[in-house]
Amino acid sequence: MLDREVYRALEKIVGSENITEEPAILDTYAYQWCTEVEKASRGEEPSRFGHRPEAVVLPCCTSEVQAIVKICNQYGIRFKAHSTGLGVWGAVSGPGTIQLDLRRMNKILEINEKNMYAVIEPYVTNAQLQSELIKRGLNHHMQGAGPQTSPLASHTSMVGPGFTSASTGFSGRNVLAVEWVLPTGEILRLGSLNCSEEWFSGDGPGPSLRGVMRGFMGAYGGLGVFTKCAIKLYPWPGPREWKVSGVIPNYEFEVPPYWKMFVLNFPDWDSFEEAYYRIGEAEVSMMAMASSQEGLATMFSNTREQTIEKILSDLMTKVQRYFIVLVAAHTEREFKYKTKLVNEIVKETGGEDLVEKGVVKPPSISYAEGVRNMLGSHAFRFTSCFQSTHGGMDTISMAINIAKVNVPIKRKYIEKELIGDDRGEGMWITFYEQGHFAHMEIPTIYDPADPESCKGYADYSMECNKADIEHSLGIPFFIVGDRMHDMFGPHCCNYQNWLRKIKEAFDPNCVSDPGHYISPKK
């Protein structure tokens, strides 16, 4: 419970309706996906209930956020802000911390069609933004966390791969100018916003602190609060009306005329790799992602039962190493060119298109779910829970290496029946930037209601981290907190020392919850 003086000061800022200390309400913020894994990895009993914030406040604008942060500095209270708040990274990590729920900051402030950027507040969701952009023939990069999550949160603070990454990159590459309430309560406007009130660039004219702001993987909300940001927009290669018909769960999407999905299958990793690189370089795909046979069944099914049926069918024997490509063109000419190129690459690399062969038929809904970033959430259908290990953020070749190294590690845990059985082959790869850069993660199913399964996943995750170091496989996707940075830092030029210096310089009172970022001093 907060000191009454602090409570009254916060209440004065947001109004009595927008602050609470009610334990039941606070518990809905203490509860987060993956807290059970963090607890298990610390040797605690797995539970989704983590630290209860001292209070939750709902600011409505930058000046309220700024005033709250100043109060926190004045009284030595820690704070943690989140947007939609999916995952333990959005929650407070220790006692004496208040939660800023940015739900009331939900405006699309500008869609600049000419300069192709949108300015958004923290609680604008991906689906909301995309629905407004499509009407204008535009689209944005959406992170894989889903259409109900915040693009601002990902663009400013997290890694942010997504299903259209082959054409839109990852979140860190898409953020332009930002408005940032620093941990001290000062407001910093980065990029063009600093000198022109324009949002078109994050790197100048004006200061570029992209590296400090989010570094390689993002500060996960441990370095102040981002209250507005501009993000890049892309041309939308479809009609300006989003047409989905039918009744749940059998929705049908009206697939635009120049869209085509391929499932390109290859006999081995070598031919897969060559084709994947070439598809990237050819710049023909809106989506280009690889997964396992189980992943294919999961993505192209509407229910768990349909998925299991597909997994148990002969699909498994007909699919080896594959990736899915979505060609989405604006004109017939562009469509013909791109599909021809895909077919040529497949032919020259010894692959086959499983859609053409009739082995796989992507349902129309999969096109819509792909571009709306919903396919990843299909993995929740098995046990209501999965999480990913590894990360890569390196090359396609490295992604394949990770997949290979991971198989025997994962199989050990599958044999003990601690995690879901995907034969150890489960993975998800997407490339960025013409295939020069790739993201790789290993999604893994576990049972959140079974402590043994949670502990099993936590152990598996740690073994993956050790393998990343031992085999030089890059930094994991979820690299958060002192423990992880101190584990990987010494193998990566002691970057953790720089992170700590940044934290110390920007947050001298250490009021911006460092739990999922880094503490100023070890």
User: According to CB under 8 A, which residues from 307 to 336 bind other proteins?
Assistant: 308, 311-312
Return the residues of window 51-80 that contact other proteins according to CB under 8 A: 56, 58
Q: Is 7 in the site for other proteins (CB under 8 A)?
A: no
Q: At its nearest, how many Å lie between other proteins and the CB of residue 305?
A: 6
437, 389 Cβ separation under 8 angstroms: no
> Under rule CB under 8 A, which residues in 172-231 are in contact with other proteins?
none
Instruction: Pick out residues in 259-288 that bind other proteins (CB under 8 A).
Output: none
* Residue 111 vs 263, nearer CB to other proteins: 111
* Peptide bond preceding 249 in cis form (omega within 30 of 0): yes
Phi first, then psi, for residue 431 (nearest 5°) are: -100, 160
- 308 or 510: CB nearest other proteins: 308
Please pick, from the candidates 3, 15, 25, 257, the single residue that binds other proteins as defined by CB under 8 A. 25
Return the SS3 of 371.
Answer: helix
Q: How far is the CB of 52 from other proteins (least distance, A)?
A: 8
What is the Cα gyration radius of the chain?
23
Select 302 or 509, whichever has its Cβ closest to other proteins.
302
> Alpha-carbon distance 192 to 112, whole Å?
15
Q: Which is nearer to other proteins, 413 or 488 (CB)?
A: 413
What residues numbered 372-411 form the site for other proteins, per CB under 8 A?
372, 374, 377-378, 380-385
Q: Which is nearer to other proteins, 14 or 355 (CB)?
A: 14
242 binds other proteins (CB under 8 A): yes
Question: Which residues, in sequence order, are bridge partners of residue 128?
Answer: none
Q: What x-and-dash track marks residues 27-56 binding other proteins by CB under 8 A?
A: xxx-xxx--------------xx------x
User: Which residues in 80-99 contact other proteins (CB under 8 A)?
Assistant: 84-86
Interacting span for other proteins (CB under 8 A) from 14-22, 215-223, 273-281, 401-409: 14-22
The Cα 78–Cα 23 span in angstroms is: 18
Does 103 bind other proteins (CB under 8 A)? Our answer is yes
For residues 10 and 279, give the distance between their C-alpha atoms in angstroms, rounded to a whole number.
54
The one among 63, 74, 250, 472 contacting other proteins by CB under 8 A: 250
Nearer to other proteins, 109 or 492 (CB): 109
Site for other proteins in 118-147 (CB under 8 A): 124-125, 127-132, 146-147
| Binding residue (CB under 8 A) for other proteins from 61, 108, 209, 212 | 108
Contacts of other proteins in 464-503 (CB under 8 A): none
In the bound state with other proteins, the residue whose beta carbon lies nearer, of 181 and 365, is 365
Residue among 275, 238, 217, 244 at smallest CA distance from 479: 217
Beta carbon nearer to other proteins, 252 or 270: 252
- Choose one: 161-169, 280-288, 323-331, 419-427; the region binding other proteins (CB under 8 A): 419-427
The residue within the footprint of other proteins, chosen from 369, 441, 468, 513 (CB under 8 A), is: 369
Contact (Cβ atoms closer than 8 angstroms) between residue 184 and residue 69:
yes
CB of 131 to other proteins, least distance (A): 5
Degrees to nearest 5, angle at CA 172 with 171 and 178: 100
Query: Minimal distance in Å, beta carbon 250 to other proteins?
Result: 8
What residues pair up with 324 in beta bridges, in sequence order? Answer: 263, 289
Q: Is 204 in contact with 194 (CB distance < 8 Å)?
A: no
Torsion of CA 214, 220, 222, 227, to 10 degrees: 70
Q: What does each C-alpha distance from 306 to 299, 302, 311, 361, 434 come to in angstroms?
A: 11, 7, 9, 13, 34
Helix, strand, coil content of the chain in percent (nearest 5): 40, 20, 40
DSSP collapsed to 3 states, 442-478: EEEECCCCCHHHHHHHHHHHHHHHHHHHHCCCCCCCC
Count of residues binding other proteins (CB under 8 A)?
A: 74
List 287, 368, 403, 487, residue binding other proteins (CB under 8 A): 368
* Cα gap 320→311, rounded to integer Å: 13
**Cα 397 vs. chain centroid, distance in angstroms?**
22
For residue 16, give both structure tokens. Answer: 């009595």
Contact with other proteins (CB under 8 A) among 112, 115, 148, 519:
148
Which residue matches tokens 């003086």? Answer: 5
